[in-house]
Chains A and B, each alone.
Chain A
Amino acid sequence: MRALARAISLVERRDPSTRELFETLGEPRPETEILGLTGAPGTGKSTLADALVAWHRAHGESVAVIACDPNSPFTGGAIFGDRIRMQRHALDPDVFIRSMGARGHLGGLALASREAVRLLSAYGFDRVILETVGVGQSELEVAGVADTTLLVLAPGLGDGVQMIKAGIMEIADVFVVNKADQPGYERTVLEIRSMLNMGPKLPWKPPIVATVASRGEGIDELMEAVARHRAFLVSSGRMEARRLERLKDEAADLVGEWSRKAARRLLEDDDDLAGRLEADKAPYGAAESILKEEGARLVPGQQ
């Protein structure tokens, strides 16, 4: 277990030695079900994660949780509190919980989340729950990593216009209206339903499930919806299609990550590039020449 925890730290540190590991491990095992949990701060994602862990354990499945939280943009520090909600699973050897700082990465996850999912899958966990930072409207990365994305909403967080905006509402495979014992719950459900009915007919119509995660209510229904979504992914061939899409996403992201890091260093060290920026008063020429002339040097470990 400690080796797993340390491997996750290595990917968080973006240690180049992990490349070899992932080239050996390959993709997450197809049996590992990856569940994304996203939504605004305070809608109850961690409490829901806790309830889902309990459900999986009651069904004899091992489960890992990656809980993402923001770091301070000023100091880099962070306080992670997700474990507090999941205390009752402490000491269960089939539950693994890891807090992960987004460390300035936008998109709702940490840069290392995807690799952490692979490690947890390879370690043998049946389920991985990926909880995003509390998101706004455009942190959509989780949908590219998880098999099924749950969007967690709570009553009283916005009107019908919020519902038809582009972004977060579009990535939900299942809508979870949590805190369903609170006033305004019916209206929230109604607004989601009317939003869904306004759009074109899709092959998968996201179901809406009501939960009171703190009391474990609605979790059976929720997991039934998740199972139906998974069956849809398999029968429609999307599960297979998503695999390649994911790899494409990962490759493109890596190009961005590697070249951004290396380019920043080159721009610091290379006087010609700095001179070029001064002369052009615009970034395009310098960016183009970095990509054209330094291509191979952008890859970590190459000189």
Chain B
Amino acid sequence: MALRIVMAKLGLDGHDRGVKIVARALRDAGFEVIYTGLRQTPEMVVDAALQEDAQVIGLSIHSGAHMTLIPRVMDVLKEKQAEDLMVFAGGIVPDEDIEKLKKLGVAEVFTPGTPLQEIVDYLRAKFPGETAAV
């Protein structure tokens, strides 16, 4: 069964090159990526992940609003009793915020310059049973 990952840009942030490159790398790793596009609210992202029965949510954020929007995603997951979904984030996030986000349940935060293979390896290690769909 292929790992299904919903990837989204949170909030008012049009910088989608990074998220597209990561999506492409995850596709090439054999995962099914559902890209929901720009200007997503936390509620939209969680709803999409539930409808798509994704196991993972990947959030991209470069606007500086990560401490507002990402905790809200974690709250909505709790409200919907969907805390089993894994959340990772990517973007420009200072180290001290990474610690705070991890305390809130975010599995990992990948900052600019992270090799793509590192993200792929991370997900493979977290979901060893999920092989390619075809």
Contacts and interface: CB of A to CB of B under 8 A. Distances in A.
A91 B134 contact: no
A91 B36 contact: no
Contact of A97 (B28, B29, B51, B134): B51
Interface stretch (A81-89, A190-198, A223-231): A81-89
Given A80-B33, A81-B35, A84-B35, A75 B51 contact: no
A6 B54 CA distance: 9
Contacts of B133: 71, 76-78, 101, 103
A80 B23 CA distance: 10
Contact of B32 (A5, A13, A78): A78
B33 A91 contact: no
A236 interface: no
A78 to B, nearest CB: 5
Nearest to B4: A9
A282 B51 CA distance: 47
Interface stretch (B40-48, B67-75, B86-94, B96-104): B40-48
Interface residues of A, number: 30
Contact of A77 (B28, B40, B80): B28
B26 interface: yes
Contact of A80 (B35, B43, B132): B35
A59 to B, nearest CB: 22
A2 B53 CA distance: 7
B44 A90 contact: yes
Contacts of B126: none
Nearest to A5: B53
Contact of B50 (A1, A73, A79, A84): A1
Contact of B132 (A1, A76, A83, A87): A76
15 contacts: A2-B82, A75-B132, A76-B132, A77-B27, A77-B29, A77-B32, A77-B132, A78-B133, A79-B27, A79-B34, A81-B35, A90-B36, A90-B40, A91-B47, A98-B51
